[in-house]
Structure 1
Amino acid sequence: MQNRRTERGTFFPVFWKIDAHYVLMDFHKVFDVPAEETVDIYVEGEYNVKIDGIAFEGSPKQIVVPAGKHKINIKVFNQANVPAIYVKGKTIVSDATWLVTFEDKEWIDETGKASDISATKWLNAGSSNFNSPAQLPSEFMLPTRKQSAVSTIKGKNSLLVDFGKETFGFIQLHGLSGKGKLSVYYGESEEEALSTEHCETLDRVDVNTQEKKDEIMKLSKAYRFVNVQCDEGVTLDSVSMLYEYADVKERGSFTCNDEEINRIYDVSKYTFELNTREFFIDGIKRDRWIWSGDAYQSYLMNYYLYFDNETVKRTTYALRGKDPVTGHINTIMDYTFYWFLGIYDYYLYTGDQNFIAQNYDRMKTLMDYVLARRNKDGLMEWMSGDWIFIDWAAGLSKKGEVSFEQLLLARSLETMALCANIANDTDAATQYNTLAADMRKKLFNIYWNDTKQALVHSRVDGKQTENVTRYANMFSIFFDYFNEQQKEQVKTSVLLNDHIQKITTPYMRFYELEALCALGEQNYVLKEMKDYWGGMLKLGATSFWEEYNPDKKGAEHYAMYGREFGKSLCHAWGASPLYLLGKYYLGVKPTAPGYSEYVVEPNLGGLEWMEGKVPTPQGEIELYVSTNEIKITGAAGTGVLKFSSRSKPVCSEGNVEDKGDGNYELTVEKEKSYTVNYN
């Protein structure tokens, strides 16, 4: 996946360590078989099969298992592709309950006695949607569907094709004939497609056929416009495409009385669809890589649109790779911390303890790497090989000990403590909690400035810098690290202060607006969404961009990284309204793992009405809110609807509790519907 990127036809690999699969895997499971049964076995790789430690001759495609309790082992070697098995009997079938290891630690002494294998680390096998032996994992491809252009402009030996909006897939050339060369120039904008010297991606085709034929480009690409240029001896009838997509289902929704907000939601949804592939990737044109910072935001958006756990898990595994740890994830210090944060949120939203257990050992070794790179004061500071990213912002200092990195480490240590408890590693949980508390204490002792009423950006040579940035301050709000007084101070001194350097990427606008929503500023945030995301729409965006600065003009919007068309016009981190509208306007969020408990605090933010669905592990929470009525249907667990009213609300389906000062609560039971009238 991460080695499909090309830049103007040149292979462009990632610049961090890529780990291959384990080439030798041992799969096993113990079955209690009620009656003798025949079992079919399909394997990708060389293999042997054992029952109760006794090997069958050769590599059988079918075995007979007698009645009784038996342990079946299938050991598979495959250097080219991931070792995989498909087992199908009446009761003996392959699924995620099988255990797997890449080293069984077994040895045999001179008497022929086998050692015990108590030191072997067994994990649950990965199990995906390969539900037929004909579906080979090594041949997996995303599904496609045909898509036609909305317009085609024919020139002399050229076609300029417009697909109407940002899209992704394989270009198809129809009625191709003649002898010569054909070039396909891709563009997210018309300007890019027409710029044969500076467009980011292209294809070259050698044509030598007298009969008309169709040809499909080998790699899928991102584009809206396609500029096809042919030599004199080449003819082409038309161009279409195969749209490539991940087959995930929408479960969340949002609509309201404001059509611009509805349009922002819909384009956010489409942006996220395009960047949801085998994994959650950053953007579809340029990198198409798995970046941890981008993925972390995608996880959160996913919980309010798809609730697709498998893509979260695949992306988490892919980012982490194998031991030993030789560098930060994607080489970026903050991206290592986002990996930990992603696991914290995954458990909160899904309640999936097994995934924590599967990852815990690699969480520990990654955290060991992090802790070994602290300076003499126990703080994270740049070391050779590190990239401190934070955000694309002009002149953003990375010198000294940056407060934002210490804050992310504190939260990562809290994640480690949580996961250590789940893994029954109580001593480690105590140690991680102690380290986390120490980091939080240091964060405020070292970086809080009473005069500036904010956390300063960094400390250099043991002294606070004068610079205040938004990053550590806004994260401390929704991490709930500030007390109420500090939250109000930071809202005024930082978030609503135009003298503090502004954020121009949707990446950090995500967190800035989340912090403001957490402070109850939904009215302000709604206006910001309309200005910022609405600003892109006014410029003709059909998906949301990697960066947007309203001060730029014309084709300036397409430039980045010193290249005329370097900017991604479809970037996953641009889709954050999915998360903001679900969590802070519909107001639905879990308060215990897997939505066993949750709260619903709707906030219209100046809207007249809104309605939507928020997915949970056991169904969708449905909500309609207007200025005088709330309708809600529960899903998993037990929810608490919190709202304000000037007079006592009326609800015939449940008991509304008066919490004082015009605040009320209603308990929402699973699969029950309630209507509340209030004012």
Structure 2
Amino acid sequence: MNKSLSALIMLSLSAIMAAAQEGRATWIWYPGDFEVWLSNQMQNKRTERGAFFPPFWRQDGHYVLIDFHKEFDLVAGEEVELYAEGQYNVKLNGKLLEGYPKKIHVPAGRHKLNLKVHAQDRVPAIYVKGRTIVSDSTWLVTYEDKEWIDETGKASDQSGTMWLNAASWHFDQPSTPPSSFRLATEPHPAQTIERADGNGLLVDFGRETFGFARLHGVSGTGRISLYYGESKEEALATGTCETLDRITVDNVTDKDTVLELSKAFRFIWIEPEGGVQIDSVSMLYEYLPTVQRGSFRSSDTLLNRIWDVAKYTMELTTREFFIDGIKRDRWIWSGDAYQSYLMNYYLNFDLPSVKRTMLALRGKDPVTSHINTIMDYSFYWFISIFDYYQYTGDKQFVSLIYPKMQQLMDFCLDRRNNDGFMEGLPGDWVFIDWAEGLSKQGAVSFEQLLFCRSLEAMQLCAGIIGDGPGAERYGQLAAEMKEKVFTTYWDMDRNAFLHSLVDGELVDHVTRYANMFAIFFGYLDELQKQSVKNGVLLNENVPAITTPYMRFYELEALCTLGEHKYVLEEIRDYWGGMLRLGATSFWEEYDPGKQGVAHYSMYGRPFGKSLCHSWGASPIYLLGRYFLGVKPVKPGYAEYQVEPSLGDLEWMEGTVPTPNGDIRLYIDRKQIRIQAEGGSGKLILHSRTKPEAQGLTVTPLGGDRYELEIPVGSIHQVSYR
């Protein structure tokens, strides 16, 4: 990226990351630094049987020295309070003020206020509050001010410095700086406590949960061991359960103890030793407060239950960031997060969590490996920004993150093989999916499709921020890659993509991955779609998918093809199968062919599987996007479309959140009721006769399809057959 374009991007940013309201002070910092710092705090809390278990990819740090400044025109002088996270100095109109001022007087007139802050253990941040002088995201920040003093005592003009608008979130009081952030907690009782083996306690909280165990009425001297389990079997398997705690007590009487680290569990087996007594056990449930805006109900009680458990799974995995699973990793994985973003758009529409997660995943320059070291996870990161813009219309965030996209894309382009394809190199993990016997050798067609879509995301974002040459370049690269993928991998006899190219030779093997993604990416014509549907997706001879992770995409492809009844049966069978086994949140992997405790095993460990995994919540997205049928047509739902499909349901109703308010729907076999709070919408429906809707224009689209415009405000009722 050339320097002038970079400067244009940086200087055009405003109100980034939940900008503060006019006239209201808030804590501010360098964009992305709080996310990097907070992700380090969270991701280094993982333990395995009490041992510290950090992430295995590079962990970046925040910039430790930041310069903040803003210019003000004051009609009258005012007193200004100053707060900082770290060691700081203050300059007014370039003059350094004495000491560490907590309050300064700024006279009437035009002035420039600078604060420079240094902190290693937390993110350098400031809070400035006067009558009109307040810290907010209109302040400019840099980690490299290039300021120097010449022999005459004159300061440099800082012409080489890139300034960005400051970032903020919701830290709006001087007493709550960013470093004080903690998730919320609330007390939850145990559902049952059984005493066994003398003094031992088996505690059941009724469903999967997350938080801090609390021991009440602890007395005596000795040791207490706590063995956590997402299942009863895991909690009782003291030698193989994934997480545990041990605490020592010394001559205490009726003491309450809260364990230091939060854990995931449903059951806890507690073994007091050495004469220690415990009266009872409860927990502090730990969570990120969010507002649920999306909803779904239907004539199918099983489907309703599946939606509710998916919602709870999302609640548990929406924390400081969107994480994978609450028991084992508790890390930010780009592939998991990508699905969480989509589910979030139909549940909470919590955009700060999306942006925090994207920034944390990307980290700092220079780029030395793929995100999470996984090739496909870098591509999901690009595609997630493409989708984010469609759902939100947030050009400011695209402007912030575009330079980071360029650096990562340059890294990817440099790793193409001699044929121009992406192939795993030393240090790369080609993941695709957890599937036994799945080859990941050579240039896999699935990776090339994700790469093509990533280049399209680059083209879109370049256009948004005004990088014309970049948009042209990325558009050309995307078109070339798409043509190469079809020329190389599409088998004219099978009418499907083959799986991989190894040492220049196509492997005569068809898998579902590239084929189903090509459908909802819009890369196939109608004949190709139908051949893939029948020859791949509905073909039992093609290896089946056993993870909710890829079932998400398989069912999305089938919804795109209009197979809504089939998809409902698959949801009932697959997610309902987990419920029939007692699941209270959805799992990392589910193979209906397994029996008994084998369902809990993974990674060669008897309880290695996560029983609460973010990608298990995909029915939220599928039901909102393809059954209620709501999607943005133009960025930020400026225009949107509603094309509901009942499948085999008698009725359904729900709410879909948008940046302009909620869209509410009720659909049965004879009528549709719809209400929208904003945006310009069109209702698309299938009817044997022309629908009737008072006050609405009905436009035939051909066949049995009709289109109706959706006015904002009141509830509109449409009758159809």
- 1:149 is aligned to 190
> Which shows bigger deviation, 263-272 or 348-357?
348-357
What is the Cα deviation at residue 73 of structure 1? Answer: 1.7
Structure 2 residue 130 is the aligned partner of structure 1 residue 89: yes
CA distance in structure 1 between the aligned counterparts of 2:483 and 2:587, rounded to whole angstroms: 37
In 2 relative to 1, CA 107–669 (structure 1 residues): closer, same or farther, beyond 3 Å? farther
In 1, Cα distance between the equivalents of 2:285 and 2:209?
A: 7
Shift of 1:106: 2.6
1:64 maps to what in 2?
105
Q: Give the aligned residue type for 1:649.
A: P
Q: Does 1:448 align with 2:455?
A: no
1:260 paired with 2:302, answer yes
Aligned to 2:43: 2
CA RMSD of aligned residues (A): 1.1
- The more displaced of 32-41 and 399-408 is 32-41
Rounded Cα–Cα distance in structure 1 between residues aligned with 2:531 and 2:75: 69
Amino acid in the other structure paired with 1:195: A
Give the drift of 1:85.
1.1
Report the Cα offset of residue 104 of structure 1: 1.5
Aligned match for 1:320, one of 358, 362, 368: 362
Partner of 1:158: 200
Provide the residue aligned with 2:148 in structure 1. Answer: 107
Shift of 1:40: 1.0
What secondary structure is seen at the aligned counterpart in 2 of 1:222? Answer: strand
Q: 2:380 is matched with which residue: 335, 338, 341?
A: 338
Aligned residues: 679
Q: Which amino acid aligns with 1:342?
A: S
Residue 460 of structure 2 aligns with which residue? 418
Q: Within 5 A, what are the aligned runs for 1:472-487?
A: 472-487=514-529
Show the counterpart of 1:134. 175
Shift of 1:630: 0.7
Matching residue within 330, 344, 367 for 1:302: 344
Per the TM alignment, residue 263 of structure 1 is displaced from its structure 2 partner at its CA by 0.1
1:298-447 alignment, distance < 5 Å: 298-447=340-489
Identity, % of aligned pairs?
62
Give the Cα–Cα distance (whole angstroms) in 1 for the partners of residues 494 and 148 of structure 2.
65
**For residues 286 and 427 of structure 1, what CA distance do their matches in structure 2 show?**
45
From 655, 662, 671, give the equivalent of 1:629.
671
Determine if contact 1:222/1:285 at 8 Å carries over to the other structure.
Answer: yes
Q: How far did residue 210 of structure 1 move? A: 3.4
Q: Does 1:178 pair with 2:220? A: yes
Deviations 1:565-622 (A, max 9, x none): 0000000000000000000000000111111111111011111111111111121011
Give 1:516 shift. 0.4
- 1:490-639 to 2 correspondences below 5 Å: 490-639=532-681
Match of 1:677 in 2: 719
Amino acid at match of 1:639: G
Deviating 4+ runs (over 3 angstroms): none
1:209 alignment counterpart:
251
Measure the CA separation in 1 of the matches of 2:233 and 2:476. Answer: 56
Offset of 1:29 from its aligned partner?
2.2
Q: Which residue of the other structure, out of 260, 270, 276, is the alignment partner of 1:228?
A: 270
For residues 226-279 of structure 1, what are the alpha-carbon distances to aligned partners after superposition, in whole Å with 9 as ceiling and x for unaligned?
000011411110110000000111011111110000000000000000000000
Aligned residue identity for 1:62: K
Give, in angstroms, the shift of residue 467 of structure 1: 0.8
How many Å apart are 1:654 and its aligned residue? 1.4
C-alpha distance in 1 between matches for 2:509 and 2:543: 10
Q: Partner residue of 1:33?
A: 74
- Aligned to 2:261, which of 219, 222, 229? 219
TM-score by length of 2: 0.93
Shift of 1:71: 2.4
Write out per-residue CA displacement over residues 300-330 of structure 1, whole angstroms, 9 at most, x where no aligned residue: 0010001111001111111001001111110
Contact 1:29 1:71 in 2 (8 A): yes
CA shift for structure 1 position 635: 2.8
- Whether the aligned pair in 2 keeps the contact of 1:653 and 1:675 (CA below 8 Å) is no
Structure 2, gaps ≥5 residues long: 1-41
**Which residue of 101, 121, 128 maps to 1:80?**
121
Q: After superposition, what is the alpha-carbon deviation per residue over 1:621-642, rounded to whole angstroms, capped at 9, x for unaligned? A: 1111111111111233201110
Q: Is the Cα–Cα contact under 8 Å of residues 172 and 240 in structure 1 kept in the other structure? A: yes
Structure 1 partner of 2:210: 168
Q: Letter of the aligned partner of 1:78 in structure 2?
A: A
Whether the 8 Å CA contact 1:186–1:201 is kept in 2: the answer is yes
Amino acid at match of 1:4: K
- Counterpart amino acid of residue 262 in structure 1: N
Task: Provide the rounded CA distance (Å) in 1 between the counterparts of 2:165 and 2:648.
Answer: 49
**1: CA distance, partners of 2:601 / 2:158:** 58
CA distance in structure 2 between the aligned counterparts of 1:7 and 1:169, rounded to whole angstroms: 16
What's the CA shift for 1:660? 2.1
CA contact (8 A) 1:157 1:232 kept: no
Opposite residue 679 of structure 2, the aligned amino acid is G
8 Å Cα contact 1:653-1:673 kept in structure 2: no
AA matched with 2:126: I
In structure 2, give the amino acid aligned to 1:314.
Answer: R
Distance 1:290 1:133 in 2: 30
Which stretch shifts more, 503-512 or 618-627?
A: 618-627
365-374 or 40-49: which moved more? 40-49
